[in-house]
Chains A and B, each alone.
Chain A
């Protein structure tokens, strides 16, 4: 099992659809993150869960709704998205509060029609 697994790898959806992105980590970490990467821009932190509690919400529109049922799983529920939400969505995990690197999944490439 790879460390951080994201599904699906690719997703095309209409603006009125509802879908969910899934992330699973097998590293025993206690913190999980959602990032958005748009072309030519730095990774943007969206949400942080530490010990299954949301500790950061970076002014993300409410059409993105995270869920962390346990320390190994993280979801991003999507509804009524806009074309500018098309991007690569990356999940990461880490062991906190130590100074340790975050480990990333391969991302979900999301396209909004």
Chain B
């Protein structure tokens, strides 16, 4: 039972345009959401996060939007650059006892064309 889903396995965008990556979740108890970026042969790298008390968080070219009523999370990258080409994972967590249990999506491979 996958609680976090990324329904688009891949996305191709022209350099300079906006990239929008989407993520849906099923558990309304999730209270912390993150996006990770992963290059081949490397581990996932934390990109940006958002708490459930907010609906938007921005960091430079990256903005994460949270729509709690729709249980939907999105990552906007603008402008997109060729170096952004990677696999992007969304993750959601809820506090459980003394640690955060994260649930990950299966990833979206972004290709930014020069």
Which A positions have Cβ atoms within 8 angstroms of B? 4, 6, 31, 40-43, 45, 48, 50-51, 55-56, 90, 92, 94, 96-97, 99-107
Distance from A102 Cβ to chain B, minimum over Cβ atoms (Å): 6
- Please state if B44 and A55 are interface contacts (CB–CB under 8 Å): no
- Please state if A94 and B100 are interface contacts (CB–CB under 8 Å): yes
Distance from A56 Cβ to chain B, minimum over Cβ atoms (Å): 7
Q: Does B7 contact A (CB under 8 A)?
A: no
Which B positions have Cβ atoms within 8 angstroms of A? 2, 4, 9, 31-32, 34, 36, 41-46, 49, 51, 89, 93, 95, 97-107
Contact of A50 among B45, B99, B104 (CB under 8 A): B99
Subset of 26 A-B contacts with CB under 8 Å:
A6-B43, A40-B106, A41-B106, A42-B4, A42-B106, A42-B107, A45-B101, A48-B101, A51-B98, A55-B97, A90-B43, A90-B44, A94-B100, A96-B98, A96-B100, A97-B100, A99-B32, A99-B49, A99-B51, A100-B100, A101-B34, A101-B49, A103-B46, A104-B43, A104-B44, A105-B43
Distance from B50 Cβ to chain A, minimum over Cβ atoms (Å): 10
What residues on B are CB-neighbors of A55 within 8 Å?
A: 97-99
What residues on B are CB-neighbors of A101 within 8 Å?
A: 34, 36, 46, 49
| Given A50-B98, A55-B99, also A43-B89 (CB < 8 A) | yes
